[in-house]
Amino acid sequence: MNKIGTYEFIAEPFHCDFSGRMFFGHLGNQMLNAADFHSTDRGFGMKYLMTINRSWVLSRLAIEMEEMPTQYERFTIETWVESAMRFFTSRNFCVSDGNGRVYGYGRSIWAMIDTVTRQPTDIYSIDNGAINNWIVTDKPCPIEKGGRVKMSENVELVKTIEVNYNDIDINGHVNSVKYIEHVLDLWDIDWYREHHLKRFEIAYVAEAHQSDLLNFYLEQTAENEYCVRLVKAEILTGNQVEVCRCKLLFTQ
Amino acid sequence: MNKIGTYEFIAEPFHCDFSGRMFFGHLGNQMLNAADFHSTDRGFGMKYLMTINRSWVLSRLAIEMEEMPTQYERFTIETWVESAMRFFTSRNFCVSDGNGRVYGYGRSIWAMIDTVTRQPTDIYSIDNGAINNWIVTDKPCPIEKGGRVKMSENVELVKTIEVNYNDIDINGHVNSVKYIEHVLDLWDIDWYREHHLKRFEIAYVAEAHQSDLLNFYLEQTAENEYCVRLVKAEILTGNQVEVCRCKLLFTQ
């Protein structure tokens, strides 16, 4: 079996925005599907991990696109494991038309947790470190790695929303892709008419649950560069806990 | 070509709720995809209609499920045209495992509009009434047709949300499926732990746009039966206009 997994998708009409370009959130979802197909086919997918009380947890995701697939276009996501360590593995993505025209790339970092204790566990413990058989070092992914998203205290609370039923996945917390959608909803269509989102980067810190309030803190860090910190206010305790940080780069 | 179109889908993990069952909204989206595949293959799909300034507009949708596909399950949607008149056509759906086990059914009513004038146009004008070649009268769809959703004045305003970037599709207005999601978000996970949504029915009245405020009015009309009226408050004029009505039937 090839170390690189290749999966075909279609830019479904209702997964495209007002301009006919695919929403970043839906593209992110298809990347996560590709990751799941790839790892399942190679013996370390979510469905198997569930049976041994393990789960992959997405720690970071960066997506950088030169252009977006448009309505009804077929596109291909290639995905491969770039490296694996005891507690983290990095997985890359290439989005193309399947004929050499590249739309963009993705980079992700994953941890593996014990679903009972919620603690990180040793990735090499799965099938005697079998993940090492799948590492690809010679396929380029020419976008920057996600770094620490630095924000000052000079942030503005721009929105508060409540976590709803449709935000929550089978893990009982807000699905990784929903954060992307909620963050992109901080800007309106008039903004997106003038600006293309080139890069979206997210670092997950804690999990948000049903009924949590999510506070969105925004800071402009450069021209066309914005950082967003999501903080949950837990409904029962009132605790304020950072949930994730995002960095967005727009082009005009 | 068979008059009935048959399409395979998978219940993607992030399209499933906390219980591992597919979200109603995502199932609705796949029904709309199946409708689009079916009509495209037979010469009257959206992509072709766009070239002649025509578009299908969903007028009503009713989905009634005995059970829902669960995470990673492959399922089949069959769809066919039950009847066609000058200004409306009815299209049905059957959701099954592809091997005779039926999960549920859907019924939908569509109009065709001129995308320039936004007025209804004659469905029979497309390819000399070719749609009549595709009508299936002998395939059962044993769920009730959607009727007029009757609500009293005894309704309660339970929520107001703003229409965001991710709600809007290429038509420039709120995507049909997003209403389903927003309505289902009126209930929380504790409710869904105790209740299964058996039937969801929606009648579309007007289109909502970016920045409109959506007011949700709720009325309990019987045991486990709820009706919801969505009214948009247009941001520029302050006009209050009914957008759609829904009827939900839960089981315990």
pLDDT (tens digit per residue) in B207-218 = 999 989 999 999
- CA–CA dist A76, A103 (Å, integer): 10
Chain A: residue whose CA lies nearest to B173: A18
Determine the Cα–Cα distance for residues B130 and B1; give it in Å rounded to an integer: 14
Token output for A81: 């494991």
> From the CA of B201, how many Å to the nearest CA of chain A?
18
Average confidence (pLDDT) over B6-10: 97
| B→A interface, C-beta within 8 Å | 12-14, 16-20, 23, 25, 29, 32-33, 36, 46-47, 71-72, 164-166, 168-170, 172, 175-177, 181, 184-185, 187-190, 192, 210-211
Long-range contacts of A111-117 (CB under 8 A, 24+ apart): A111/A56, A111/A57, A111/A59, A111/A87, A112/A49, A112/A54, A112/A55, A112/A56, A112/A57, A112/A87, A113/A54, A113/A55, A113/A57, A114/A53, A114/A54, A115/A50, A115/A53, A115/A54, A115/A55, A116/A53
**What's the confidence (pLDDT) of residue A229?**
97
CB pair distance less than 8 Å for A20 and B172: no
In A, minimum Cα distance to B161 occurs at A161
**What are the structure tokens assigned to B139, written together?**
């395939």
CA-based nearest residue in chain A for residue B23: A166
| Complex ipTM value | 0.93
B169/A16 touch (CB, cutoff 8 Å), yes or no:
yes
Q: How far apart are CA B211 and CA A222, in angstroms?
A: 27
Q: How far is Cα B178 from Cα B168, in angstroms, rounded to an integer?
A: 9
Tokens 């929303």 sit on residue? A161
> Whole-model pTM?
0.95
Q: Taking residues B115-119, what's their average pLDDT?
A: 92
Is residue B235's pLDDT more than 80? no
| Cβ neighbours of A192 in B, within 8 Å | 165
Q: Tell me: pLDDT of B238 over 90.
A: no
- Tell me how far apart the alpha carbons of residues A69 and B92 are, in angstroms, rounded to a whole number: 30
Query: Would you state the structure tokens that stand for residue A24, as one six-digit string?
Result: 């970043």
**Taking CB atoms and an 8 Å cutoff, what residues of chain A touch B51?**
none
Mean pLDDT taken over chain B: 95
Q: What is the dihedral of CA A32, A37, A43, A47, to 10 degrees?
A: 70
For B210, nearest residue in chain A (alpha carbons): A189
Contact of B250 with B198, CB cutoff 8 Å: yes
Q: Do B166 and A19 touch (CB under 8 A)?
A: no
Nearest to A175 among B14, B29, B188 (CB): B14
Q: Count other C-beta atoms under 10 Å from residue A181's C-beta.
A: 20
Please list the pLDDT of chain A residue by residue as tens digits (252 residues): 999 999 999 999 999 999 999 999 999 999 999 999 999 999 999 889 999 999 999 999 999 999 999 999 999 999 999 999 999 999 999 999 989 999 999 999 999 999 999 899 999 998 888 899 999 999 999 999 988 899 998 899 999 999 999 999 998 999 999 999 999 999 999 999 999 999 999 999 999 999 899 999 999 999 999 999 999 997 778 789 999 999 999 999
Dist CA A135 CA A17 (whole Å): 35
Look at B233 and A216; give whichever has higher pLDDT: A216
DSSP one-letter code for A86: S
Q: Domains of chain B, with CATH numbers?
A: 5-134 (3.10.129.10), 156-251 (3.10.129.10)
Confidence band of B4 (pLDDT split at 50, 70, 90): very high
Residues of B with Cβ-Cβ distance to A55 under 8 angstroms: none
| pLDDT confidence of residue A226 | 98
The alpha carbon of residue B138 is apart from the nearest alpha carbon of chain A, in Å, by 31
Q: Which residues of A touch B165 (CB under 8 A)?
A: 17-18, 184-185, 187-189, 192
Pick from A19, A25, A172: CB nearest B18? A172
Q: Which of B170, B176, B185 sits opposite A20 (nearest CB)?
A: B170
| Contacts across the A-B interface (CB distance below 8 Å) | 98
| Among B32, B169, B185, beta carbon nearest to A166 | B185
CA dihedral sign, ordered A124, A130, A133, A134: negative
Contacts of residue A166 in chain B, CB cutoff 8 Å? Answer: 17, 23, 25, 181, 184-185
Instruction: For B188, name the nearest residue in chain A, comparing CA atoms only.
Output: A165
Chain A residue numbers with beta carbons less than 8 Å from the beta carbon of B29 are 12, 14
> Is there a contact between A168 and B25 if contact means CB atoms under 8 Å apart?
no
The model's pLDDT over B12-26, given as tens digits with 9 standing for 90+, comes to: 999 999 999 999 999
Residues A145-178 have pLDDT tens digits of: 988 899 998 899 999 999 999 999 998 999 999 9
Question: Residue A114's pLDDT is what?
Answer: 94
Contact call for residues B233 and B243 (beta carbons, < 8 A): no
Contacts of A72 in chain B (CB under 8 A): 47
